Chains A and B, each alone.
Chain A
Amino acid sequence: MKKTTAKHKKSFNLLKPELPPPSAWDRIYDWIVTRARVVVVVCEILIVLAFIGKVIVDIQAKDINQALEEKSTTLAQFFGTIESELRDIQQRAGVYRNVWEFSNSFSSILREVQSYITNPGVKVTITISGKNLTIRGDDNLQALQLIESQMKTSPNFKDVKLELNTESSEVVAEVGKYAITATILELDTRIKLDEIETTTDITQ
């Protein structure tokens, strides 16, 4: 029994233990239990980060969806009532602008022709239709000749002619032995709406 105890007595071995050189499989095993674990852990960390990222983008998506819904509701209210009215105003303003600016304006021509008739008693009839001007008179050829000469010097008329009126049946008030015919060169266009807005009260 004592012998056996002596046999199992611990002994010191200060020599470096000699191990066989590691085989390829030993190295793979070492790699698996060391670095591969790191790979797994890194993968897991990546998954956690990805989940966090997913949560963030989902929250963003939810916020954007909510904002879109609110905006859609607001715009729907606008579309339903205000936008159609605004479009109507826009269209109406455009139409009005064109109608206003393309419409005829005869007052300056009438005023000019009237200014040539110095004797208010002379019996003449002035007709303006489009770009055509006709002055009919029967009782004073000289008066008409005077009007004709003034119209010929005016920059607003061309083709001014004094002739016998052959359309007497169509003459207004059945006057007009003679007729001056002329073409208006440039019809006075109406003033632009922008100018009106700044100079007059449009609400009148």
Chain B
Amino acid sequence: MPRGSISARINKILETKQGQAYAVAAGTAAVVIVLIGFGIFPILSSIFFVSEQNAIKQQVLDSMTVKEQNLRGLVSKEFNNRAVTLALKAAMPDQLEQAVLIEKVTNLAALTGLQINLMSFTELETKIELRETFDVSANLQGKSFSMSAYGSRSGIEGFVTGVESMHRVVNIQTLTVGRRDDEDLQQGGQLGKEYKLDLQGEIYFIAK
């Protein structure tokens, strides 16, 4: 369409009041549409989207704050009970730690007047998983622990009670207590060692 004819038409439209009304109405409508379409609508949708995102992030932040508070509480509790934690690690160690157990058993025997003759550690005979036996999820491992000792009747009772009270758990499987042979007792230095204790137990640790 030739250029002149377009401006002629526009001029023709704007000549009359009716044409001017048309033009202003069209212009206003266009401005309003542009304002709504390119201004208000995108901004509002962006506001709603960011608000939703903020709400989700705020939830995450709140849960993180709760977690942080819980952890801080646990850390402070752990710090206050550090001695208990260390005792727990000693009672349920990561390794077998036979030396510590031997020392504790020897001390206990000395306290109860027992003379230890033998102590040995062997593989566990049981084929049942310890995890099932004790209903735990950790990699619980164990060793069989055997010992033989001489002592008095009350001494042996005290020793067994002591072994069962040790923080390092010795799960006694078999216990045999009997009076020793008379020939053995006739030898010197056997006073207070008239009885013999044979003990088989299990000790445990969490393998890492």
Which of B1-9, B116-124, B160-168 binds A? B160-168
Does B54 contact A61, Cβ atoms closer than 8 Å? Answer: yes
Does B175 contact A125, Cβ atoms closer than 8 Å? Answer: no
Q: Pick the residue among B21, B135, B138 that contacts A91 (CB under 8 A).
A: B138
A133 to B156, CA, bound (A): 17
Which of A8-16, A67-75, A145-153, A155-163 binds B? A67-75
Chain A nearest CB from B163 CB (Å) reads: 8
Does B43 contact A50, Cβ atoms closer than 8 Å? Answer: yes
Q: Is A60 an interface residue (CB 8 A)?
A: yes
Does A107 contact B164, Cβ atoms closer than 8 Å? Answer: yes
Number of CB contacts from chain A to chain B under 8 A: 209
Please, which residue of chain B has its CB at the minimum distance from the CB of A83? Answer: B71
Per DSSP, chain A at the interface is: helix
Residues of B participating in the A interface, judged by any CB pair closer than 8 Å? 17-18, 20-21, 24-25, 28, 31-32, 35-36, 39-40, 43-44, 46-47, 50-51, 53-54, 57-58, 60-61, 64-65, 67-68, 71, 74-75, 78, 83-89, 91-92, 133-138, 140, 153, 156-157, 160-161, 164, 167, 169-181, 194, 196, 198, 204, 206
Given contact pairs A75-B64, A103-B169, A96 touches B28 in the complex (Cβ within 8 A): no
What are the residues of chain A within 8 A of B85 when measuring CB–CB? 89
- Give the interface centre of B60, B84, B179 by most chain A CB atoms within 10 Å: B179
Report A66-104 residues with CB < 8 Å from chain B CB. 67-68, 71-72, 74-75, 78, 82-83, 85-86, 89, 91-96, 98-100, 102-104
Q: Is A123 an interface residue (CB 8 A)?
A: yes
Please, which residue of chain B has its CB at the minimum distance from the CB of A63? Answer: B54
Q: How many residues of A contact B (CB 8 A)?
A: 75
Question: Could you pull out 16 A-B pairs where Cβ atoms are within 8 angstroms?
Answer: A32-B24, A39-B28, A64-B54, A74-B68, A75-B64, A78-B75, A82-B71, A89-B88, A99-B169, A103-B169, A103-B170, A104-B172, A107-B157, A172-B178, A173-B178, A190-B164
What are the residues of chain A within 8 A of B178 when measuring CB–CB? 123-126, 136, 172-173, 175
Given contact pairs A53-B47, A104-B172, A40 touches B160 in the complex (Cβ within 8 A): no
Does B71 contact A78, Cβ atoms closer than 8 Å? Answer: yes
Q: Is A166 an interface residue (CB 8 A)?
A: no
Per-residue contact bits, chain A 97-131, to B (CB 8 Å; 1 contact, 0 not): 01110111111001100100000111111111110
Chain B nearest CB from A103 CB (Å) reads: 4
Q: Pick the residue among A43, A102, A172 that contacts B32 (CB under 8 A).
A: A43
